[in-house]
Amino acid sequence: DQQVKQNSPSLSVQEGRISILNCDYTNSMFDYFLWYKKYPAEGPTFLISISSIKDKNEDGRFTVFLNKSAKHLSLHIVPSQPGDSAVYFCAASAGSSGSARQLTFGSGTQLTVLP
Amino acid sequence: KAGVTQTPRYLIKTRGQQVTLSCSPISGHRSVSWYQQTPGQGLQFLFEYFSETQRNKGNFPGRFSGRQFSNSRSEMNVSTLELGDSALYLCASSLDGTGRLFFGSGTQLSVL
């Protein structure tokens, strides 16, 4: 029973264009969402997060959108750069807002940015 | 500030053996979590420790256990290894379990 789903295992975009990574969740108790990026042979690194009280959070080239009614969030990267090529994981947590005691991760999306 | 350090980086064991993985969190971080990543799967939560106490446990058999020491360093133990335990084991730390987690590079365990 996957509570966090990333239905696209891979995505290819051209350098300079927008990358949109999607994530769906089923647990309505989730109230904090995060995106992590992972390069081979390294641990995941935090990108951006959003609390359920917001519908958008922006940090430089990265923007996360949350649609609570659809239980859907997306990560937009504009403009995409070759260095963004990595596996992107969506994660969610429930309970007290901001708690990262137990993150539930999606299966990841491999983003490839073509020069 | 040094990041999260996991040792060893690679480990090869045979079925039935046991293994201990080590994690040193970022200095000042008191929460340590462990995750398992297998091919094609996302990261699956194993357990979380804070001030030497296990606060949360994921849906894994009792063969998986852990502990945290007074200096916040943590160890994870897997007994009676099975082929399906082959995975990347990731440790993450945070100040108090809230907000973002900082991950180590992981220990790649292969069970033959």
> What are A11-22's pLDDT values in tens digits?
999 999 999 999
The reply to whether B38 touches chain A by the CB within 8 Å rule is: no
The answer on pLDDT for A95 being more than 70 is no
Taking residues B37-62, what's their average pLDDT?
88
> Taking every pair of C-alpha atoms in chain A, what is the biggest distance, in angstroms?
42
Rounded to the nearest angstrom, the gap between the alpha carbon of residue B18 and the centroid of all alpha carbons in its chain is 14
* Pairwise CA distance, residues A106 & A4, whole Å: 5
Least confident of A16-20, A63-67, A98-102, B99-103: A98-102
The answer on pLDDT for A99 being more than 50 is no
At residue A57, the pLDDT reads 96
Quick one: which of A22, A26, A19, A18 has its CA closest to A1?
A26
A89, B44 Cβ separation under 8 angstroms? no
At residue A98, the pLDDT reads 42
Which of A49, A96, A102 faces B100 most closely, judged by CB atoms? A49
The answer on pLDDT for A43 being more than 60 is yes
* Pairwise CA distance, residues A3 & A10, whole Å: 20
The reply to whether B48 touches chain A by the CB within 8 Å rule is: yes
By C-alpha distance, the chain A residue nearest B4 is A43
What is the H or E stretch that residue B56 is in? strand B53-57
The answer on pLDDT for A94 being more than 90 is no
For chain B, percent of residues with pLDDT exceeding 90? 74
Q: How many CB pairs under 8 A join A and B?
A: 65
By C-alpha distance, the chain A residue nearest B39 is A107
For residues B48-84, b (16+ Cβ closer than 10 Å) or e, as one string?
A: bbbeeeeebebebeeebbbbbeeebebbbebeebeee
Quick one: which of B92, B36, B73, B58 has its CA closest to A34?
B92
* Pairwise CA distance, residues A39 & A37, whole Å: 7
Which of A43, A100, A108 faces B98 most closely, judged by CB atoms? A100
Output the average pLDDT for chain A.
Answer: 92
Model pLDDT for residues B44-55, shown as the tens digit of each residue: 999 999 889 998
